[in-house]
A = this chain, B = another copy of it.
Amino acid sequence: MGAAARGAAAELAQTPTAAKAAGLRHAAAAIRANAETILAANALDMTAAAALSSALRDRLLLTPARVEAMAAGLEAIAGLRDPVGQRIDSWTTPNGLRFERVRVPLGVVGIIYESRPNVTADAGALCLMAGNACILRGGSEAARSNAAVHAALVAGIVAAGLPAAAVQLVASPDRALVGAMLVAHGLIDVIIPRGGKGLVARVQADARVPVLAHLDGINHVYVDAAADPVKARALVLDAKLRRTGVCGAAETLLIDRAYADPAPILTALLDAGCEVRVDAALLRLDPRLRAATAADWDTEYLDSVISVALVDGVGGATAHIARHGSHHTDAVVTEDATVAARFLAEVDSAIVLHNASTQFADGGEFGFGGEIGIATGRLHARGPVALEGLTTYKYLVHGSGQVRG
């Protein structure tokens, strides 16, 4: 599969935008035409998954609306600006050499994911549009759904004259194949895990191929003394509770010791059904508050739970985040531009926000037309990874016979 992917990648790297977009539009049509087959396959997966949690079953479930959303998603990706061939820089040196730095595809992308069958379509489409071949390995619980979605995708791609090996699916449930992908140096250029912390941790620990991923999203909202109380309350509620299971959800609220009145924020969280674990000094504000323990500052709840610490100004906030953060997404709420600038400069996270909710940590919200994941590593792409993050570059040097001499 690696060798086939490598061959497809070489072909896709030279494929014009219109042909890639046509492949995705054909794939969308094939998904719509095969909706019943896909839903029937999903029904079998759902029956076999009866023992799983309702959250997992919801992720696995396909409905006619979700299948249509998958097809529409492919069409949306087909309409995105193609990064391949973009000129990033160009300059001429005194000897007359003209340099260009242009984007080229990464090559072969391995995606290892769980549950959601829509990843098969989304991830495959983003890789293809950026000129990459991909090898997909979904969870065994979604095997039938993924196979049906993949079959439609490939039918569309082939109908547009693109290589079938552009998007390959590992059909066997053998877990050793995941291990093989992680060490497929020379065949797979980068691995992107999509799923729970257990999956990401295993991939990060075992991969010898570069990985783009995030392990934790221990995201902070810092409410400064100079925060607008109305904005602060609204931002904290949204950052924590809009969706608690997403990686951009806030997990810790840091409140400036000089902030006038923390009570309305805490009360609003409690009233919304959130468990609130606070510093001892805050406990007296509401009998429903619980005492935080040391472990709370390092916990990603992904649930209706938040930890709340008092800190000494923006310096206290950035120190707390440096110690406990996960370099994902952190926000400051303040009307003081100097405080905001300091927070944005000092917090070493992929995404730092001023007076905006951490739940904007999403490629779609960034205007990228989707994302294949969010990366918190330091090399290559950081934050939401979309088409551009799925490319690399090369240097073109145009001469007229120059020797170095």
Contacts and interface: CB of A to CB of B under 8 A. Distances in A.
Interface of A: 10, 13-14, 91, 93, 97, 99, 104, 106-107, 189-190, 210, 228, 230-231, 234-235, 237-239, 242, 322, 344-346, 348-357, 359-360, 365-367, 377-380, 382-383, 392-405
Contacts of A97: 356, 360, 365
A393 B382 contact: yes
A63 to B, nearest CB: 23
Given A235-B401, A359-B404, A383-B394, 8 more contacts: A93-B365, A97-B365, A350-B394, A356-B398, A356-B403, A360-B397, A366-B395, A382-B392
B382 A379 contact: no
Contacts of A13: 348
Contact of A357 (B210, B235, B352, B402): B402
A399 B365 contact: no
Contact of A395 (B104, B106, B351, B380): B351
Contacts of A190: 378-379
Given A10-B322, A367-B91, A392-B379, A352 B238 contact: no
Contact of A382 (B350, B377, B394): B394
Given A13-B348, A356-B397, A404 B366 contact: no
A403 B349 CA distance: 20
A399 B107 contact: no
Nearest to A358: B404
Copies in the complex: 2
A400 B228 CA distance: 10
Contact of A380 (B107, B353, B380, B399): B380
A344 B396 contact: yes
A400 B357 CA distance: 10
Given A378-B189, A379-B190, A242 B395 contact: no
A404 B349 CA distance: 20
Given A359-B404, A365-B93, A392-B378, A398 B14 contact: no
A401 B231 contact: yes
Contacts of A392: 378-379, 382
Contacts of A228: 401
A235 B350 CA distance: 45
B210 A379 contact: yes
Contacts of A359: 403-404
A106 B327 CA distance: 13
A404 to B, nearest CB: 4
A14 B345 contact: yes
A316 to B, nearest CB: 15
Contacts of A357: 399, 402-404
Nearest to A342: B14
B91 A399 contact: no
A91 B190 CA distance: 28
* Most chain B CB atoms below 10 A, which of A107, A239, A355: A355
A204 to B, nearest CB: 9
A189 B13 CA distance: 30
